[in-house]
Structures are given as structure tokens and as C-alpha cells.
Structure 1
Amino acid sequence: MNTEYQNQWDEVRTILTAMPLHIKASDQAGIQGNPIFDPVGTNEYIKAAFINRSWQSNIPIPAPFKFLGTDIDFAKSGIVIEIQFSNYPFLLNNTLRSELFFKSKTEFAGCQTNLVILVTKALMFPASNSTLYYEQAVNQLTALAENQVFDVPIRLVGLFEESNTTVPVVWTEYSSKRYSRNVNTRVSRQCQILAGRSNRSRCILRLL
């Protein structure tokens, strides 16, 4: 990553560190209306930024491996990138199919799979129930690596913000509270990120 793929890693790091925090209103009972992490808005930003850097997006998985999904998120120069904000069991699907692509020398964007970057959010962000967070992914991948379940090189990337600070955010309201991708409004705001009661607690997001 720090030699042959340094340029590609610099692109990934630049895109992710420049990205504002995307949030939306929760529809979960008990916290309805509270700001939470917005995976749809985040994915849209990431996709546009990666395409602008000439990464190929939504590349179909070859027919023999269709049982593992329809496509991969991004690829370039032998790197496969998966953005994982969905339920935590999907991390194992992404990892094991990446191992299969690695061992079978499957090509995406004209190059065989040589390494994988997995991107997810940190525990600190309030989010929908059962969605994967970085610290959870660390535990899963560490156990798999220690028991030699896979050989594909993986870099796990976590999205964090500083707590007890005010940061710019993108606030999106969707046409439907649940599962909608149709945007009613999307505006830039400021948001306070207040630390939770412990290191294992989610932060509180307070729109200004």
C-alpha cells in the first residue's frame, strides 16, 4: 500500500478526509427526528468523488460468482474498494468474496484483484440499528486473520470525527423516512458532536 499503491491510497485518503459528515433524521422509535449517520448521502458523495478520480464504480461480479452479489463498489489498478454501512454480517460477505477474487485472480477494471480496502463508520456516530461500525469490523477481521481464514491483503478504514467539537455537516431530508433515496432537501449546516458517557457510547449530534 505504501509503495506500489501509494498514489491510489493518497487518492482514497484525500477523498475521505475532505468529506463532510452526512446526517439525517432517525425514524427509529424513541429517537425519531434525532440526527444520525446518513449512509445514502455518504455513499453518494463517495461515489461522485471516486468517479471524478477515474475509479470505476459498480462493476459487475463475474457470472460464476454471482451467488455472492451483483457488483463491487469501486476498483482501480488491482485495488477493490467496498463501502460498508449496512448490517454487520455483510462484512463477512465482502471479505470472503474478496478472498475468492484474490485467489481466482479475478479482474476488475482490467487488473486482477491484489488488495482490498474496506470503509466503514466509527461507533461514535448514532446510526440505524445493527449497522456495522469500525471497532466491530476490527474485531471480526482480527479474528479471521489470526486464524488464517484469508490471504488477501486488506486495509480497513474507519470514518471518525473529533468529539466535543463543532463541524460542518450535510443535512438531508428524504421523501420517505425509511429506505428512501429521493432527496427533498439537502443543506449545509453546523453540528456539535458531544462525547458519550464512555468510550463505548455513541456521541450526541446537535444541529445548530
Structure 2
Amino acid sequence: MQVKYQDFNGAGNAIAGVYQQQWVELERVLTAMPLHLKASDQAGKQGAPIFDPVGTNQHIADGLVPLGWQEKIAIPAAFKFLGTDVDFGKNGVVVEVQFSNYPFLLNNTQRSDLFYRAQTVFHGAPTGLVIIVTKAGMFPSSNSTLYYEQALNQLTALAQHAAFTVPIRLVGLFEPVGGVQATWTDYSAARYSRTVGTRGLRPFIITNGRAGRCKIDPEIMLEDL
């Protein structure tokens, strides 16, 4: 996939310094990852390809953990009111993969700021940088889920009013328009299931749609005719 990013509170300088290796590792995992798709269960759109957050999360974990990243790191008892865990961490860098409903971005931002101010250690060093990974708005997806452009607007407004101090790099996942080999997953149940029935690469076509959204269709192969 392709990535775009925006830095807040000096995140770029931090990454150019002590956190360069962590960023290089994450960027390589993200750019080597195929687009993950699944079938929609939304009324009127059943079966249509949409962004698959479960498959994407698993691919990121499969790439980062062998590089020494820890996943699902428990939040200290003093801050349990903020949730159960952070997604990934390594030597002072916390990565949050944010594909859920858009209001959760504010929670992730504010709790990350608290971890930064409190110098909370999740893996090897106090929290010094947070990277938030989101999908682009171009992808069809479940209703009300966060997308990069929306997150950018939210964080920009918060930063303008000094609502957080933690260095944050916001990352968006994109694909070029045209043909793409995407990982398609059939789950055991239409909604909320994480149990994989079948999974494999399939060809799709991404075409431009309205208001920055795209349409994704299976590519028709000669053997299908």
C-alpha cells in the first residue's frame, strides 16, 4: 500500500532522531502490505467489497512482532479507565491502528497525551512518540469508521488549540486507482467475526467515485467468462 502522513508537535524531528528505526520498520510493513477487503453486510450493499480492518490489523501484527514490537500492551492499572491496552509498542514508540468509529480518535489522542506526560513505559522506554494508522477515505468501509482525511481535520483543529502535547504522526493507507491485487477474506460470520473461512489474493479494479470515495469491483478474468 501507499502511505501519506502528517506530523504534529515535532513528530518529524523525533522520528529523524531517536525513533528513526521504529518508523523505518513500520513504514516497510505498511508499504509491503496488500489491500485487505471483505464482503459488506450493510443493507443494500451485501457482498460488495469493503475495507477489512481485521485482516489489515493482523497483517500489521504479523509484520511488526517478528521485528521486536510488542502487541496489545496492557495499560497500567492507574490508567485502566482509558481502556485495556495499546496496539503496539517498541522503545518509546506507541502505534495505534485506528479503524473503528471516528469518535475513538479523540480518546486515543487524549490518553496518548496522558501517557506522554506521565512518561508511561509500554516497551523499553517512556512514551515519546505516538503513530496513529488510519485508512484513506477512498475505500468503501463500514459506516462511521474513521478515515485519514477526517482524522487530519480533527487533529489539526486540536493542535491549533494546543489540546495535546504528545508528538503524533498520523498515517493514512492509500492505493492508486486501477488494478490491484487485494487480499480477500471470507469470515465465518458476516458481522464482527474474526474467524477466517478462506483468505487469498484476488484481482480488483479501483475506480474514482463521488466526494473522494472510490468503487472497488472484482476484475473479470477471461476464465470467468
User: For this structure pair, what is the TM-score category when the shorter chain's length is used for normalisation?
Assistant: over 0.9
In 2, distance between residues paired with 1:7 and 1:150?
25
Once superposed, what is the RMSD of the aligned Cα atoms?
0.7
Counterpart position of 2:125: 111
**Matched residue, 1:184:** 197
Are 2:54 and 1:40 aligned?
A: yes
Partner of 1:15: 29
Q: Which amino acid aligns with 1:190?
A: P
Q: Does 1:87 align with 2:101?
A: yes
- The aligned residue for residue 212 of structure 2 is 201
**Rounded Cα–Cα distance in structure 1 between residues aligned with 2:23 and 2:168:** 12
Provide the C-alpha distance between the structure 2 equivalents of 1:77 and 1:158, rounded to a whole number of angstroms: 23
CA distance in 2, matches of 1:17, 1:195: 22
Between the aligned residues of both structures, percent identity stands at 61
Moved >4 Å (runs of 4+):
none
In the alignment, what sits opposite 2:147? 133
Q: Residue 188 of structure 2 aligns with which residue?
A: 175
String of CA shifts for 1:30-85, please: whole Å, max 9, x gaps. 11110000000001101111101110110000001000000000111110000000
- How far the C-alpha of 1:3 sits from its partner, in A, is 2.1
Q: Within 1, Cα distance between the matches of 2:208 and 2:182? A: 17
Q: For 1:50 and 1:69, locate their aligned partners in 2 and report how far apart those are by CA, in whole Å.
A: 22
Which residue identity lines up with residue 7 of structure 1 in the other structure? Q
How far apart, in 2, do the equivalents of 1:104 and 1:201 lie? 39
Work out whether 1:147 is the aligned partner of 2:161: yes
CA distance in 1, matches of 2:72, 2:56: 16
- Specify every segment of 5 or more residues in structure 2 that has no aligned partner in the other structure, as ranges: 1-14, 220-225
Structure 1 unaligned blocks of 5 or more: none
Structure 1 Cα separation of the partners of residues 93 and 171 of structure 2: 14
